[in-house]
């Protein structure tokens, strides 16, 4: 017998798959699927509301602001409207919507204004997908999508960007490693997230070392 929660999860999966059919490959259904699976793995070690973390993982990128003119409320609004159509408890709708609103990395100087154990788990799951081999692939795909340079030795990473500067940055793709990806390991919320991030972080460091050797014709 299918439970209410299982039914809601399946309806959410169907909604997300349909909504993200034409999405950029780094923020498509498969990104969402990986974050969902990461969430389930991390949640096993945390005391969290399982329905909230699953719904938040599935809806976290339902309408990413950077693909919608910078509108930071379109994602939370889309998630809320969908959940309200499913007769889900109001407190669950509110919690999931808040996670969607606050999950994203918004630059080095941005302070998050909402906290919960559920947000911690889903945020770690999302950040894991920005690390390692998948993270590298997503980063270069998005850089190509935005027609950015791979690398420019004369354009150093900006490690003191404001939220607005981070959002509008057009710097080379390699700079993104220093402006976001390499910072994530030390910003994981959960012990499980920290452990899972270690190997992926090292893989990126090895990649960058090899990249510079090849760029300078040393290897």
Q: What is the pLDDT of residue 111?
A: 58
Q: Which residue has the higher pLDDT, 213 or 168?
A: 213
Share of the chain above pLDDT 70, in %: 90
Tens-digit pLDDT profile for residues 160-195 = 777 677 666 789 999 999 999 999 999 999 999 999
Between 74-78, 81-85, 119-123, 183-187, the lowest mean confidence (pLDDT) is in 74-78
pLDDT band for position 67 (cuts 50, 70, 90): low
How far is it, in rounded angstroms, from Cα 39 to Cα 56?
9
Rounded to two decimals, the pTM is 0.90
Query: Is the pLDDT reported for residue 209 higher than 70?
Result: yes
Share of the chain above pLDDT 90, in %: 75
Average confidence (pLDDT) over 50-62: 96
Q: Which of 122, 139, 141 is nearest to 79 (CA)?
A: 122
Query: Is the pLDDT reported for residue 97 higher than 90?
Result: yes
Average confidence (pLDDT) over 137-142: 96
CATH number given to 4-215: 1.10.3210.50
pLDDT band for position 109 (cuts 50, 70, 90): very low
pLDDT band for position 217 (cuts 50, 70, 90): confident
Q: What is the pLDDT of residue 168?
A: 64
Q: What is the pLDDT of residue 85?
A: 94
């Amino acid at each position: 017998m299918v439970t209410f929660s299982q039914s809601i999860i399946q309806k959410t999966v169907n909604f997300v798959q349909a909504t993200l059919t034409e999405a950029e490959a780094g923020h498509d259904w498969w990104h969402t699927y990986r974050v969902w699976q990461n969430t389930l793995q991390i949640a096993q070690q945390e005391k969290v509301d399982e329905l909230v973390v699953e719904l938040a993982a599935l809806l976290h990128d339902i309408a990413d602001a950077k693909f919608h003119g910078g509108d930071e409320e379109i994602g939370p609004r889309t998630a809320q409207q969908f959940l309200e159509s499913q007769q889900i408890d109001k407190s669950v709708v509110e919690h999931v919507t808040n996670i969607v609103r606050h999950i994203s990395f918004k630059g080095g100087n941005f302070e998050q204004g909402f906290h919960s154990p559920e947000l911690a788990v889903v945020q770690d799951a999302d950040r894991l997908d920005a690390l390692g081999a998948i993270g590298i692939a997503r980063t270069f795909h998005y850089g190509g999508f935005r027609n950015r340079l791979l690398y420019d030795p004369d354009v150093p990473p900006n490690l003191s960007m404001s939220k607005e500067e981070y959002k509008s940055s057009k710097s080379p793709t390699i700079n993104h490693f220093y402006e976001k990806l390499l910072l994530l390991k030390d910003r994981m919320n959960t012990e499980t997230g920290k452990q899972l991030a270690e190997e992926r972080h090292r893989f990126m460091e090895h990649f960058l070392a090899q990249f510079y050797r090849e760029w300078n014709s040393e290897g």
